[in-house]
Amino acid sequence: MTIAKPWLAPNAQAGSYALGMLGLEERKLLYHLARNTYSGEGAVVELGAFCGASTCCLAAGLRDNPRAAGHHVHSYDSFIASEPYLVEFIGAEFGATIETGQSFAAIFRRATAQFADLIEVHAGDLLEQRWPAAMPIEILFVDVAKTLALSGKVLGEFFAHLIPGKSLVVHQDFYHPTAFYLPVVMDFLMDYFSIIETGRDSSVVFRLEAAIPSDKLHSASLYKFSFARQQAALRRMMRRVGRPGRDYLRISECAAIGTYFGEERFRKALASAIRQARLEPDRVWSDGLAWCGDFKASRVRARLYGVPSLMPPPTPYDKAHLIWSAILSTVAGRIASSRLYGYRAA
């Protein structure tokens, strides 16, 4: 079944322009998924609301969708400014002074006030939250999978309630380098999903086509994949999404390499990725490169695993695989460059 894409129309509306980190194209996507695609068969769930930009876009879509009567956006967040960049953003955009570790729930409530009757807030640590067993989920917006533990929680607690042939999953961090595990997990589950949108800013949209076996979901949530398997999954996902997503995922691949093999390997991989890129620089690419400028393997390991030492070390096979894949990438890059040069010369 083909899904119409009204968010691509020249006059597509965003539903809300509330302050937040979402790009304009992502806002249009969320509004039109809730406005035009949502049928009311399941719930609309937002994992990671921050200050409410995505909440407002989804709620505006429900407001304008006659099939959504009686439905709400189930909005999950800790509403705690757990990292300095969140504190800085709130200060710059909202003029509010808070400290790391403090709540910004009041800012969320003010930002979403006009849609308050369409939002059901679930505040607290997502790792401690539960989803009602009898309630299916039709739209799942994921902007909370910042660690492997949180990603595992999303898979185990929420993916299990998706509706085969209908449910949509919006991965907002799909192209962020530090979330390189998201494309890996979705590649692992691609026997059950199709891709309906390869990129609105950083967001990619998947539709569940068939029920996912519980053991498969459990394996995905544990994330016990070798580096070689992760890199192969990233390469397959590059082919699936095409450009510009392929070039975004090259940076994600660099992040995976650096996380497992350190900063020197990361820099070499990044230089190769930049040489191979064929896209016109945009926000997603620029943000990815900016993140790379301050890459520290230990910091990423700590973010993903809680403690850097908990990350499984690369095996001898992983190391050999990395060397071989680097050789292949170099050869492929030279072939692509020579073809591009020949085309321009002609």
Asked whether residue 341 carries a pLDDT value surpassing 70, the answer given is: no
Residue type, 175: Y
7, part of any domain = no
Q: Note whether 204 and 302 are same-domain residues.
A: no
Contact by Cβ (8 Å): 46, 76: yes
Q: Note whether 44 and 173 are same-domain residues.
A: yes
What is the residue range of 185's domain? 12-222
What does the alpha-carbon distance between residue 104 and residue 19 come to, in Å, rounded to a whole number? Answer: 14
More reliable by pLDDT, 298 or 310: 298
Give 16's contacts (C-beta < 8 A, 6+ positions apart). Answer: 27, 31, 53, 56, 57, 59, 60, 115
pLDDT at 105: 96
What does the alpha-carbon distance between residue 55 and residue 45 come to, in Å, rounded to a whole number? Answer: 9
What does the alpha-carbon distance between residue 344 and residue 346 come to, in Å, rounded to a whole number? Answer: 5
Contact by Cβ (8 Å): 282, 201: no
Closest residue by Cα to residue 180 from 150, 146, 220? 146
Which has the minimum average pLDDT: 1-15, 196-210, 293-307?
Answer: 1-15
Q: Mean pLDDT across the stretch 26-36? A: 97
Instruction: Report pLDDT digits (tens) over 237-278.
Output: 999 999 999 999 999 999 999 999 999 999 999 999 999 898
Asked whether residue 307 carries a pLDDT value surpassing 90, the answer given is: no
Q: Note whether 81 and 114 are same-domain residues.
A: yes
Q: Note whether 62 and 188 are same-domain residues.
A: yes
Q: Note whether 196 and 250 are same-domain residues.
A: no
Q: Note whether 19 and 81 are same-domain residues.
A: yes
Give the chain's length.
346
More reliable by pLDDT, 170 or 324: 170
Q: Note whether 189 and 136 are same-domain residues.
A: yes
26, part of any domain = yes
User: What's the whole-model pTM score?
Assistant: 0.93
Annotate 63-129 with DSSP letters as a single string: HT-GGGTT--EEEEE--B--SHHHHHHHHHHH-----TT-B-HHHHHHHTGGGGGGEEEEES-GGG-
Asked whether residue 1 carries a pLDDT value surpassing 70, the answer given is: no
Q: Note whether 241 and 213 are same-domain residues.
A: no
Task: Kindly indicate the confidence band of residue 345, based on its pLDDT and cuts at 50, 70 and 90.
Answer: low
More reliable by pLDDT, 316 or 128: 128
Average pLDDT, the chain: 93
The CATH number of the domain holding residue 206 is 3.40.50.150
Query: How many domains are contained in the chain?
Result: 2
Whether the bond into 312 is cis, omega within 30 of 0: no
Q: Which tokens is 110 given?
A: 């003010």
What does the alpha-carbon distance between residue 273 and residue 298 come to, in Å, rounded to a whole number? Answer: 22
Asked whether residue 329 carries a pLDDT value surpassing 80, the answer given is: no
Asked whether residue 343 carries a pLDDT value surpassing 60, the answer given is: no
Q: Note whether 291 and 154 are same-domain residues.
A: no
> Of 189, 222, 255, which residue sits at a domain end?
222
Asked whether residue 336 carries a pLDDT value surpassing 80, the answer given is: no
Q: Note whether 184 and 200 are same-domain residues.
A: yes
pLDDT at 281: 86
What does the alpha-carbon distance between residue 159 and residue 214 come to, in Å, rounded to a whole number? Answer: 10
